[in-house]
Structure 1
Amino acid sequence: MNRILTLLLCLGALTAFAAKPKHQYIKIKTDMGECIIMLYNETPQHRDNMISLVKKGVYEGTLFHRIIKDFMIQGGDPDSKTAKQGDLLGEGTVGYTVPAEFRDSLFHKKGALGAARDNNPEKASSGSQFYIVQGKKFTDQELDALEANRLNFKIPVWQREIYKTLGGTPHLDRNYTVFGEVVQGLDMVDKIAAVAKDSNDRPVADVKMTVSVLKRRAAKRLEKQLAKPIKNESFTIN
């Protein structure tokens, strides 16, 4: 009887291990909605850093402190927790940077999660500040002009199609690290991007966030809900 019980427990443990989700996810909640972000396994340093900061509560009560419609919404400045209205934000730091993890297949489509950075030559990312792309849709002519004038590479055909249909910010590709994407709740980004802001692009009314890590069971349920696989293909963003 004891042997059977032990075997059943081992089988249960193996089943639980096998059920481990393919990715890690975070949830961002605001008064303007919430979204779930999948963190890419292809950028492990950024993924693990984000998970660590979320678990430590670094993002709790921070603001989306910089918004530019048709471009992106930026947050993660630890100084924004206690900022008064009108205070300049965007230079807060957790005291370290994360090495760049550029991947040609990870690009700035709408909903992409990117790491903000200053002008350091290594293009290392801020330890905590991030942005979510809203972007806009592009024509072939606009993408051709970007390739000719701003980019030193050709945008792959399949990425061009996404920039034309979903939208994004292609001029940031291979220049800022993309390390995740919104898989649910993309409308939150549109709502925040549309709020009134001051001359420094800070929302007139604070947009605070709470951030949590999805537990294994919830992450597994989410992956089942996502019917088809997702194809991966001053800290300011300019």
Structure 2
Amino acid sequence: MKKKFIVYSVYLAISCVIFISCEDKKKTTETVVETKIEKKVEVEDEDEDEDETKVEKDKKTDYPKITNENVVEFLTEYGKINPETKVLITSRFGDIVIELYKDTPLHRANFIYLVKQKYFDETFFHRVVPNFIIQGGNSDLVSTPRKRAALGNKYLLPAEIIPGRIHQYGTVSGAKEYRENPDHRTAPYEFFIFHGPRSSTSHLNGKYTIFGNVIQGMDVVEKISNVKADDGDWPLENIYISAKVIE
């Protein structure tokens, strides 16, 4: 029998939304974001399953949810039939074109997959640090964890750290879900663009997979990095993004 619950004005802690955080020297703890719900919400037991079904149906896919058990096999096969390497990220500040590296095949395939599944649409550049990084792929919208649940919210990408490849102006890397991560596995849904001096990369190099670089739009990256943000580096005004494969 379906159970129904009525929830009145509450603060819903979406802990899964912002545990993913690229390390920088200013931060020593994870950041948790709370979403304030001001209206009465009616939730049913089957809502989540219905939302996931709708997402998958709308995107016209028959793909399984990605897990740690099938991630390598799935992305290896997906990458073979989806060889694209260029993605356009659009924001109100302008466009950013990213070229993905072929020698990080799992990260490339994962990024292309998420773009084609429209995951990044209506997410934000949710963390901005001047002279360091801008980080995208998250939001405080309910739609983001629902998308993750539909695509697979319990997998990490094996590290693909290339010896000698270092973070430099314009590199694109995968964020990590937690600091106690000796295998340096990547959280699949967030990425960051480095735009600082090389002297700021000693704690990044060899610990985060660099899987692409910006080939157009670093002026846009700089604009975004300098917007006003709160103490957690979250912009005071949301910076929505969308993404599409261009080549």
Amino acid of the residue matched to residue 189 of structure 1? V
Matching residue within 171, 177, 181 for 1:112:
171
Equivalent runs, 1:46-125 vs 2, <5 Å: 46-77=107-138, 79-82=139-142, 94-117=153-176, 118-119=178-179, 120-125=181-186
Q: Is contact 2:175-2:192 (8 Å) kept?
A: yes
Q: For residues 132 and 141 of structure 2, what CA distance do their matches in structure 1 show?
A: 24
Cα shift at 1:214:
0.6
SS at match of 2:211: strand
- 1:70-118 CA deviation, whole Å, 9 max, x = no partner? 11001112x43448xxxxxxxxx83311000000243211110000002
* Residues 80 and 214 (structure 1), Cα distance of their counterparts in 2 relative to 1, 3 Å cut: farther
Matching residue within 106, 122, 143 for 1:45:
106
SS at match of 1:67: strand
The residue that corresponds to 1:185 in the other structure is 217
* Residues 176 and 32 (structure 1), Cα distance of their counterparts in 2 relative to 1, 3 Å cut: same
Matching residue within 184, 197, 207 for 1:175:
207
Q: Is contact 2:168-2:198 (8 Å) kept?
A: no
Amino acid of the residue matched to residue 191 of structure 1? K
Using CA pairs under 8 Å that are at least 6 residues apart, name the structure with larger relative contact order, 1 or 2: 1
Give me the CA root mean square deviation. 1.9
Q: Are 1:133 and 2:133 counterparts?
A: no
Q: Are 1:205 and 2:240 counterparts?
A: no
Cα shift at 1:170:
4.2
Structure 2 unmatched ranges of 5 or more: 1-82, 144-151
| Percent identity of paired positions between Structure 1 and Structure 2 | 35
Q: For residues 175 and 137 of structure 1, what CA distance do their matches in structure 2 show?
A: 15
- 1:141-187 CA deviation, whole Å, 9 max, x = no partner? xxxxxxxxxxxxxxxxxxxxxxxxxxx63431111000000001111
SS at match of 1:124: coil
Amino acid of the residue matched to residue 24 of structure 1? T
| Structure 1 residue ranges, 4+ long, deviating more than 3 angstroms after superposition | 79-83
Amino acid of the residue matched to residue 71 of structure 1? F
Amino acid of the residue matched to residue 206 of structure 1? N
Q: Is contact 2:167-2:198 (8 Å) kept?
A: no
SS at match of 1:122: coil
SS at match of 2:197: coil
Alignment size in residue pairs: 155
Q: For residues 66 and 209 of structure 1, what CA distance do their matches in structure 2 show?
A: 13
Structure of larger gyration radius? 1
SS at match of 2:140: helix
* Residues 137 and 50 (structure 1), Cα distance of their counterparts in 2 relative to 1, 3 Å cut: closer
SS at match of 1:63: strand
Structure 1 unmatched ranges of 5 or more: 1-21, 84-92, 139-167, 216-238
* Structure with a larger share of its residues in helix: 1
